[in-house]
Structure 1
Amino acid sequence: MSVQRPLQLLTKRASPSHLQHRPRIWQPARTFATPGMVVPPVTQNNTGAKGPTAMVFMNMGGPATTDEVSGFLSRLFADADLIPLGPLQNYLGPLISRRRTPKIKKQYANIGGGSPIRKWSEYQAEEMCKILDQTNPETAPHKPYVAFRYANPLTEEMYGRLLEDGFGNGRGGRAVAFTQYPQYSCSTTGSSLNELWKWRQRMESPTRNQNLEAAEAEGSIKWSVIDRWPTHSGLIDAFAENITAALETYPKEIRDSVVLVYSAHSLPMSVVNRGDPYPAEVAATVWAVQQRLGFKNAYRLSWQSQVGPSAWLGAQTSDTVNNFVKKGQKDLVLIPIAFTSDHIETLFEIDQEVIHEANELGAEGRVRRAESLNGSPTFIKALANLASEHLANDEVCSRQMGLRCPGCKNERCLASKKFFMGQGVQNNAALTL
């Protein structure tokens, strides 16, 4: 594949414990349930002492239909946290997105007409909340929400639904921003949290919204953040299960000679050199998975979805696979290690480009991909365990949350981190720098 990757491949991958909320009349919440799913209505008499709790899954998102591609690309290229274009961002972003839209529509058409990431995100959030209602009754009911950065449902839509469903507006309530990027990057988790903070300020801050009454401002939503979880044991188990299943498709006598190629979305070197923690956290995930597998197979970590001519973190997944095949190593399992569900990077870039090119070079169908996490019961249980511990411990965020990249000059990032860290008692003495 070309070094200059198409844009569409860029899309991948609380309140304090002592806070008592006043009684409220709880109305059935509008949810993001997929067709055929029935989410029971919430009523006041099944609310725990610290409930209800909104569980907000945050991710980049993807266009669900080809008609949504244009808006998706426009928002993506407008985000300087993800694609820094300098002082010409407002001019170059719309220009590039318009030029790429026709081609990218075709790419989404090739994977079924749109990204499945919303379907999987809603399913994962709903199933996790069902478990939490059983394991953490004191914070029940747990209401699932999805907030995408560039596709529907957008962050502002999600926030409006929170208010409609009885959170905030003088009624308080707790919400957990649960990033679905297991490894933290300023370009992904950081951008999503900055967007969430922006809409919180617009909708619930009296300094930005003069229509708010004092009681409404005082009773705003109390947020906490699950901002990274690269080595959580349940996540590692889920990856290991899918890799093992992929390896079992090879004859037993060659199984241990299959090379594992872990693939994660790349970053511009300008972001890496600024001190972004993402490369180290992805590597930590890979190492933990290899430990769980017993290091039976050789492995490499590669990076995909490079965009444009500037320097990006490598080696690229396509180049890595092609070089292995050319040297005679045809038995390869590709593992999307930084994504929690299928989307354009797995269904098109890996399945239809990387593997197709490998076969053209003579791989003979021996380059395969491990299944994405999607509806894995092990993965959903991991999400629930992670959230359960976060809720039970009244956590605000991780210790790393307040520490910006050493080279960061983004004042919005600083303000966002200060806000989220100031939402409760910080037991781990995290810094905001």
Structure 2
Amino acid sequence: MKPGVLLFNLGGPEKIGDVKPFLVNLFSDPEIIPVPFAKILQKPLAHFIASRRQKMSEGYYRAIGGGSPLLKITRAQAESLEASLKEDYPNLKTYTAMRYWKPSVKDALEEIRKDGITDLVLLPLYPQRSKATMDSSYGDFYRVMPSANSIKLHPIYEWYHHPKYIEAFTENIQREIDALPEKYKNKFHLIFSAHSLPVKWILEGDPYEKQIHETCHLMLKNLRGVQRWHLSYQSRTKYLKWLEPSTLDLFKKLSSDTDHALILVPLSFVSDHVETLYEIDILYQKEAKALGYPYVKRVESLNTQPTFIAALKDLVLNELRGAS
């Protein structure tokens, strides 16, 4: 056996010049912007939406240094995972594939074939399952992967309930709770902020919302000192009805408690990118301070946190040992 692990993530523009083509790729996905009766219009519509949003998105990326760090972080996660598995599988290699940017699934598969991989674990870096993330990445993979394929595939699906993933996140959350100034120890709101989804998708059977709720409850069982907690949703766009409440609306709803601290948990994200570095760290911080909250902290993203890498290692080992 010569094993490999392919880590999937969304992708992001690495420089300002990448913003529009990244947005075109994103809005060309029929799972994101469905055009069921006129597929020929998918690409022109994607270009139109990307052009409308380009300037605003470029501003976001300029505010966080000129590009997304997601590829760099995902590669670091892959390297850490590969190093953690060397004792069990000395010849194992890791690869990355981005859904809407580079390296693509096609790029990754070229490397995988060249390296002679016989068993490939598919590891989406989305703990909760949704057609917008995990299912979209798998759809992209199976469109590119030839049906006459000699590589044995080991796909991993939702893993939001994995004990080490829960442990990793609660370690980071507890560290922020423990670091609260004394006057806020019993006066803080813990806010789990997850990426929103259109309500229509949930009604059609997408399991994401249910799994987000379950993730919150699993984490709360392991946390100390939490008296007030809330779940909210971020990153929604206009026109459709999205999961509620939005994180900003929740800030306003709780604003009678502006003598309380806020601790924000980037719940559905395992890496830093524009939704954490701009939306939470800049936009939400500014809005919370304007409403009068005196102390607002975001829980650190998982990135290459050791317990998180141990969770990924455990997921991979479970697949490969089952294949042996």
Common fold by TM > 0.5: yes
Provide the rounded CA distance (Å) in 1 between the counterparts of 2:183 and 2:256. 22
- Aligned counterpart in structure 2 of residue 310 of structure 1, from 237, 240, 254: 240
1:303-327 CA deviation, whole Å, 9 max, x = no partner? 1111122101111011112321344
Q: Which residue matches 1:367?
A: 296
1:236-272 CA deviation, whole Å, 9 max, x = no partner? 1111111111112312353233111001111111111
Provide the rounded CA distance (Å) in 2 between the counterparts of 1:296 and 1:90. 47
Aligned alpha-carbon RMSD (Å): 1.7
Q: Which residue matches 1:89?
A: 42
Provide the rounded CA distance (Å) in 1 between the counterparts of 2:207 and 2:275. 22
Provide the rounded CA distance (Å) in 1 between the counterparts of 2:123 and 2:225. 31
- Aligned counterpart in structure 1 of residue 153 of structure 2, from 223, 232, 249: 223
User: Which sections of structure 2, spanning at least 5 residues, go unmatched?
Assistant: none
Q: Does the Cα contact within 8 Å between 1:326 and 1:361 map onto a contact in 2? A: no
- Aligned counterpart in structure 1 of residue 175 of structure 2, from 236, 245, 266: 245
Q: Which residue matches 2:14?
A: 64
Q: Which residue matches 1:424?
A: none
Amino acid in structure 2 at the alignment position of 1:148 = M
Amino acid in structure 2 at the alignment position of 1:165 = D
**Does residue 192 of the first structure (1) align with residue 123 of the second (2)?**
no
How many pairs align? Answer: 321
Provide the rounded CA distance (Å) in 2 between the counterparts of 1:392 and 1:132. 12
Normalised TM-score (structure 2): 0.94
SS of 2:185 mapped into structure 1? helix
Q: Does the Cα contact within 8 Å between 1:373 and 1:379 map onto a contact in 2? A: yes
Q: Which residue matches 2:307?
A: 378
Amino acid in structure 2 at the alignment position of 1:181 = Y
Q: Which residue matches 2:56?
A: 103
Amino acid in structure 1 at the alignment position of 2:227 = N
1:376-400 CA deviation, whole Å, 9 max, x = no partner? 11111111122112221239xxxxx
1:272-318 CA deviation, whole Å, 9 max, x = no partner? 11010001111111111000114633211111111122101111011
Provide the rounded CA distance (Å) in 2 between the counterparts of 1:176 and 1:265. 26
Amino acid in structure 2 at the alignment position of 1:387 = V
Amino acid in structure 2 at the alignment position of 1:352 = I
Normalised TM-score (structure 1): 0.71
Q: Which residue matches 1:6?
A: none
1:332-388 CA deviation, whole Å, 9 max, x = no partner? 100011111100000001111111111012113x12111111121111111112211
SS of 1:374 mapped into structure 2? coil
1:291-306 superposed matches below 5 A? 291-294=221-224, 296-306=226-236
Provide the rounded CA distance (Å) in 1 between the counterparts of 2:275 and 2:208. 18
Provide the rounded CA distance (Å) in 1 between the counterparts of 2:252 and 2:102. 36
Q: Does the Cα contact within 8 Å between 2:187 and 2:260 map onto a contact in 1? A: no
- Aligned counterpart in structure 2 of residue 130 of structure 1, from 83, 88, 104: 83
User: Which sections of structure 1, spanning at least 5 residues, go unmatched?
Assistant: 1-49, 168-172, 206-216, 396-433
- Aligned counterpart in structure 2 of residue 121 of structure 1, from 74, 83, 92: 74
Q: Does the Cα contact within 8 Å between 1:332 and 1:367 map onto a contact in 2? A: yes
Q: Does the Cα contact within 8 Å between 2:190 and 2:226 map onto a contact in 1? A: no
